[in-house]
A = this chain, B = another copy of it.
Amino acid sequence: MHPQTDIVVKIATDLWYRQISRASTLFDEYTDEQLAAEIAPGKNSGVYLLGHLTAVHDALFPLLGIGDKLYPELFDVFVKSPDKSDLPKPATADLRKYWKEVTKTLNDKIATLSFNQWMERHTSISEADFENEPQRNRLSVLLSRVAHLTEHIGQLLWIKK
């Protein structure tokens, strides 16, 4: 009735959805001004974290082999470069839209994957290496990204009201 492998998928994806929902709630609650400020002196701004998380999650499409990035231009600005780079950043209103769109599209894809599909390799490991390291699969990518996301949620929680 409840195959154990389906339960594993439910646990992992529910954890992802829950943390995504927490981040979305935080982004929605904060004003553009609150997001623009450094969260702590000398640390990242909320707007950088919004762009950063959007870009990292957008990169999950090719990494999981489930599609192409929606906003590939974000990666240089928000992943390869730090907050105080000279690169021009999109308007906060646009970043809010990109976050919602990446989240919705990604969650829809994530919901379709079966346990066996989660156990398939991700695209940054070769077939040969995957034979020896079968744990480097899509599921491990998802759970690593949960950890990455919650790390930044801990910081976003500290934006002052």
Contact = CB atoms under 8 A, between A and B. Distances in A.
Interface string A1-29: 01011011011101100010000000000
A91 to B, nearest CB: 26
Contact of A147 (B2, B15, B119, B155): B15
A144 B5 contact: no
Interface stretch (A63-71, A73-81, A104-112, A135-143): A135-143
Contacts of A139: 8, 11
Interface string A33-52: 00000011111000000000
A50 to B, nearest CB: 15
A14 B154 contact: no
Interface in A111-136: 115, 119, 134-135
A147 B19 contact: yes
Given A119-B7, A154-B155, A15 B135 contact: no
Given A143-B143, A147-B19, A151-B154, A4 B5 contact: yes
B144 A15 contact: yes
